[in-house]
Structure 1
Amino acid sequence: MLISRKSQVNLLTCLTVTGGLLLANTAAAQRLAKAKTPAATAAKAATLIANPVLAGDYPDPSVTKVGSTYWATATSSNWGPTFPLLKSDDLQHWSLVGHVFPGERPAWADYYFWAPEINHDENGKIYVFYTAHKRGGNLAVGVASADRPEGPYTDHGPLVGQPDGSIDGFPMLDEKGQSYLIWKEDGNSIQKPTPIWAQRLNADRTALVGEKTELFRNTAAWEGNLVEGPSVVRHGGYFYMFYAANGCCGAGCTYATGVARAKNLLGPWEKYAQNPILTKNDTWTCPGHGTAIERNGHWYMLHHAYQTGSFQYVGRQGVLSEFEWTASGWPQFLNNHSTPAAPAKVPPVVQDEFADATLSSAWEWPVEDKPQVALRGGQLQLTARPDRGGAELGRPTLAANYVATTTLLNPATLPAGTTAGLAALGDPNNSLRLVASATQLQLLERRDGKARVLAETALPPGATRAVQLRMQDQGGSRYTFAWSTDGTTWQPMLPGTATADGQFLPPWDRGVRVGLVAQGPAATATFERFELVNNQ
């Protein structure tokens, strides 16, 4: 996209290009370039970063430092459990340790659990400000608190929910030490502008007090129909707000990152003339919505982006990008995305032997349909809720090419009308699944809630006690399925080189999950071992 700029010199002819301005007068161009892009003040060597640092679907990541440990969380949208909790010693190597809401979602909200911002006060109390859709209402910003980063968290309900929707809450102390909440009014949902607001928080950070103040809104051409995802830091006497703008998601995304600054938190705010400061490159597309943080004298932003090639199928992954401060005091990303870059590291194999007494926190489920799960002796029993008739467990995909396998035990004993198996899951209404019943194997497509049989075969005699199921994905959307009774000889469900098309699977704001399903009014299915082999 071309970004219009005002002419800086009356008699110069300007041409807007991706890398900046080409000016007809070389001497004037050099003077203008020197004035617009001062030398950076930092002389430190750039950090070697292996992105993604959060492989898989981790939109809108936020990060804070508690003691010597970094803690992060991210959007979970319509997957439960709600809001992952991760920790790291170096911002690059993260481990999933739990969730803000590991069981049921907050009672006041039903779906769209977005943009959690993890933060702590001067006494060490932890807060997560988050967005969710209010039952019977619109999007609102809520808050939960805990005495420790790992929880448990107590939910305090919504802080603000404007008629057009309120999202992307971020807490910040002003120049006097007063705590404020900054958020976006979701005007773009009804073709209106998107103001960024600030309003005081009470001492407990559980309610807003006083009047709200608009900081700025989408006014620049590159911002399109929205500005959102504010993240504020103080540096050199200024407040700096990093923010995202334009289209966040999907194959047509146009997301990028800009910055504005102010001497006082309530403004006036000045947008940087060279926005956007973080845009797509050959590896990462549509970068934005993250948190700025300092470590060992280096400044970074943990944000999300789509990896070029896999795009919306894996989802928006967590990327760490380094920036420095120019002589004029503005942030400048190092060659756009954290350079130099180390080779990306995605776990080659993910396994679950179901040997623990409790389900691994890496498993997810549709937020409105938490299934019944039991683990016994290396087996997982998945039971559909009687009122829903179906159960789904999924794990985020980590690459665009992968192979997933599992073993379904005793398919011949499944009750009539019951199926169970392996699936690629977009959401409850969109999936591809290889399932067994007591009599047959079926490859099913569920698109917009409507089921269609792509292939079927009789359940072979050797599969009555156990059948192994395999699903292979190429490029994020080309699926093949096969079954085996011995784990060595595999029988394809589709003829020859035919594939099932999975382009319809991912919702607009999520990546695809792969996992286990059970369907039927009295469905309880037993699985042994799940394995996901990732190929870059």
Structure 2
Amino acid sequence: MKSIFLTSLLALATATYAQQQAVIPGDHADPSVTKIGDTYWASATSSNWAPEYPLLKSKDLIHWQSAGYIFPKLPDWADYYFWAPEISYEKGRVYAYYTAHKKGGNLCVAVASADKPEGPWKDHGPLMCESDGSIDAFPMRDENGKLHLIWKEDGNSIRQPTPIWIQEMNEERTALLGEKKELFRNDQPWEANLVEGVSMMRHGGYFYAFYAAAGCCGEGCTYVSGVARAKNLLGPWEKFSGNPILTSDETWKCPGHGTPIEKDGKYYFLYHAYSTKSTAYSGRQGLLREFEFTPDGWIAFKAPVATANQVPAVVKDDFSKASNLWNWSVFHWPEYQTKGGKLHLKAIPEQAGVYLARKTYTGNYTAQVQVEVPKTTELKSGLSLIGDDDNALGLSVQQGELLVWKREKGKDKVLQTLPLTNAKTVVLQAQVKNGKEVTFKYLINGKNTQVFDSVNGAFLPPWDRAVRVGVIAKGEGTGVFDNFLLRSEKE
């Protein structure tokens, strides 16, 4: 009987884990959250996708709406790797502490502020730029009310330890004061080559530091999460003997880098993880997990609670008006406009071309768009799955011809060409299975014709991002698009 009872409990726990859904689906790594009035505001890593740092808002931490971006244009001092925004609110002002790569330098932590989360945001520039990189900033007041900044020195990038530093910060958030002090570093076997992504809260006489460790990203990720505590912000800090407190399960892998938040007297952690089904192809997605404080003063996560699937089944854009849900390369800001119910995208001849792309949410989806057939072979307009500027896969049309192509590690290759005659418009379609098996099709007058079966897109996702899908234009001229659609299947 005991054996049957334990088996039943295990089955129940497994079923509960299997039901956990992302509350912020799609590529939203390193999520941060704060409460302003009766609304929760969140942001997440953009990396080399622009605009930088999406803003989302929610009343319940479950249902989120897009609300623009922190940086519609890049800060003057930075060029790429826009990571880990930490959004906070204090005394009527909103702050975003963020990481970016300094032009001609390395990674720095910086800060921007606004009167309201919708913006406009004013950038105050870098606060700390160490030679091997500074990332993952978090603000915290000590037991005496003094404001400090916590961040990670990116030692793992040069095969060195990763100390977590703290330094006093002025109230204007424009400069650090005094000398930095180390709080802790990666010194436990389970932490492997790094600790990072520190966020903090104070409760019951202790400061608690949530942090991530090991390998963050990609198919081979090993990320896990731990907690440390201290009675004084400057330490000494004690790591929990039961670490790690968040690990992979059968539904989500490599959990970490989040922010604690209180709601209605309960405590939650908004963090990211990969779906074990779509993994790197749909990216690190936002999850929510309740935790409690134990009698001995530590933290224990509760079993995940089933929530409604937040993945949009269908995403449409008829280009009747501008949308803020399109992304593009931080290195190639597009010239485009919507007019006459169509998207007009000016092509560039470099790399894969210029593109506007949307997040993907699962490993199985269909994307399609109607394209005006160019009147020249100097312009290729199409539908593409995009990892980055050097890794893309698509179906494009030029005068008289359809082309299935790929760009892998910066090298271009045409996989198949088919003649196309007497068509002014064509609907291009990509059917994707398991994130990487891509079948391109085209439709003329509603007739569906297969072009190329099961192209392998396993090379697409960059180490720190997911695959996006969208429209692309390469060469000379302007691509014209209409009726974009993305249909996602449930995982």
TM-score tier (shorter): over 0.9
- Contact 2:348 2:473 (C-alpha < 8 Å) held by counterparts: no
Q: Say yes or no: does 1:493 pair with 2:451.
A: yes
Equivalent-residue separation in structure 2 for 1:57 and 1:85 (angstroms): 13
Render the CA deviation track for 1:240-266: whole Å, top value 9, x for unaligned: 000000000011111000000000100
Question: Partner of 1:76 in structure 2?
Answer: 46
Give the aligned partner of residue 361 of structure 1.
324
| Structure 1 residue 120 displacement after superposition | 1.6
Given that residues 50 and 345 in structure 1 are in contact (C-alpha distance below 8 angstroms), is that contact kept between their aligned partners in structure 2? Answer: no
Q: Do residues 403 (structure 1) and 402 (structure 2) align?
A: no
- C-alpha distance in 2 between matches for 1:343 and 1:73: 21
Within 2, Cα distance between the matches of 1:163 and 1:427? Answer: 27
C-alpha separation in 2, matches of 1:388 and 1:286? 32
Mapped to 1, the partners of 2:429 and 2:353 lie a distance apart of: 21
What is the distance in 2 between the residues matched to 1:280 and 1:341?
17
Shift in Å, 1:126:
0.6
Cα distance per residue 1:380-434 (max 9 Å; x no partner): 000125788931110010111000010002x142x33210110000001101110
Q: 2: distance between equivalents of 1:388 and 1:500?
A: 20
Match of 1:322 in 2: 290
Structure 2 residue 432 is matched with structure 1 residue 476: no
Match of 1:111 in 2: 80
Output the amino acid matched with 1:60.
Answer: D
CA drift at 1:459: 1.1
Corresponding letter in the other structure for 2:391: N
Cα–Cα, structure 1 residues 270 and 389, in superposed 2: closer, same or farther, change >3 Å?
A: closer
Relative to structure 1, is the Cα distance of residues 451 and 387 closer, same or farther in structure 2, using a 3 angstrom cutoff? Answer: closer
Q: Residue 488 of structure 2 aligns with which residue? A: 534
Distance across 2 between alignment mates of 1:284 and 1:108: 36
Q: Provide the C-alpha distance between the structure 1 equivalents of 2:153 and 2:408, rounded to a whole number of angstroms.
A: 33
Map Cα deviations across residues 99-155 of structure 1 (whole Å, 9 max, x no partner). Answer: 0001x211111110000000122x211110000011111110011110001111011
SS at match of 1:499: strand
Output the CA distance in 2 between the equivalents of 1:181 and 1:49.
Answer: 37
Which residue matches 2:9?
none
Question: Retained in 1: the 8 A contact 2:348–2:474?
Answer: no
Structure 2, unpaired ranges of 5+: 1-15
1:493 Cα offset (Å): 1.1
Partner of 1:381: 344
Superposed CA offset, 1:17-39 (max 9, x none): xxxxxxxxxxxxxxxxxxxxxxx
Q: Which amino acid aligns with 1:467?
A: V
What CA deviation, in whole Å up to 9, does each residue of 1:491-512 have, x standing for no partner? 1112xxx310000000000000
Residues 274-296 of structure 1, C-alpha deviation per residue, up to 9 Å, x if partnerless?
Answer: 00001011111000000001101
Report if aligned partners of 1:49, 1:320 keep a CA contact under 8 Å in 2.
no
In the alignment, structure 1 residue 88 sits paired with structure 2 residue 58: yes
TM-score, length-normalised on structure 1?
A: 0.87
CA–CA distance in 2 between the matches of 1:390 and 1:192? 38
Aligned to 2:266: 298
C-alpha contact 2:352 2:390 (8 A) present in aligned 1: no
Please name the residue that 1:159 is paired with.
Answer: 127
Separation in structure 2 between the aligned mates of residue 188 and residue 279 of structure 1, nearest angstrom: 21
| Structure holding more strand per residue | 2
SS of 1:490 mapped into structure 2: strand
Runs of 4+ residues over 6 Å off in structure 1: 386-389
Which residue of 387, 392, 397 corresponds with 1:426? 387
The whole-number CA distance in structure 2 between the counterparts of 1:434 and 1:385 is 17
Partner in structure 2 of residue 274 of structure 1: 242
Aligned 8 A contact 1:49 1:92 in 2: no
Corresponding residue to 1:308 among 276, 280, 298: 276
* Letter matched to residue 473 of structure 1: V
Distance 1:406 1:147, change over 3 A: same
Contact 2:374 2:381 in 1 (8 A): no
CA distance in 2 between counterparts of 1:345 and 1:267 reads 40
Identity in percent: 53
- 1:294 match: secondary structure: strand
Query: What runs of 5+ residues in structure 1 fail to find an aligned partner?
Result: 1-45
Deviations for 1:502-532, whole angstroms, at most 9, x for unmatched residues? 0000000000000000000x22011111000
Whole-angstrom CA distance in 2 between matches of 1:362 and 1:297: 34
Describe how 1:41-56 pairs up with structure 2 within 5 A. Answer: 51-56=21-26
Report the alpha carbon displacement of residue 322 of structure 1 after superposing the two structures with TM: 1.1
| Letter of the 1:534 counterpart | S
Paired with 1:389 and 1:433, the residues of 2 have a C-alpha distance of 10
- What is the aligned counterpart of 1:143 among 111, 114, 135? 111
Amino acid corresponding to residue 356 of structure 2 in structure 1? L
Which of 63, 69, 73 aligns to 1:99? It is 69
CA distance in 1, matches of 2:324, 2:169: 33
Report the CA distance between 1:197 and its aligned residue. Answer: 0.4
Quickly say closer, same or farther: Cα 1:507–1:392, change in 2 above 3 A. Answer: same
Amino acid of the structure 2 residue aligned with 1:100: I
Cα separation, partners in 2 of 1:300 and 1:389, compared to 1, 3 Å:
closer
The residue aligned with 1:503 is 458
Who is 1:5 aligned against?
Answer: none
CA offsets per residue over residues 63-84 of structure 1, 9 Å max, x none?
0001110000000000000000
Distance 1:504 1:231 in 2: 33
Distance in 2, matches of 1:313 and 1:86, equals: 22
* Candidates 433, 453, 467, aligned match of 1:512: 467
2:334 & 2:43 partners in 1: Cα distance? 23
State which structure, 1 or 2, has the greater radius of gyration over its C-alpha atoms: 1
- Report the Cα offset of residue 51 of structure 1: 2.0
Specify which of 32, 55, 67 is matched with residue 37 of structure 2: 67
Whether the aligned pair in 1 keeps the contact of 2:200 and 2:207 (CA below 8 Å) is yes
Superposed CA RMSD in Å reads: 1.6
The answer to whether structure 1 residue 467 and structure 2 residue 422 are counterparts is: no
Equivalent-residue separation in structure 1 for 2:274 and 2:456 (angstroms)? 21
Shift of 1:315: 0.4
Q: Name the aligned partner's letter for residue 476 of structure 1.
A: G
The residue type equivalent to 1:305 in the other structure is A
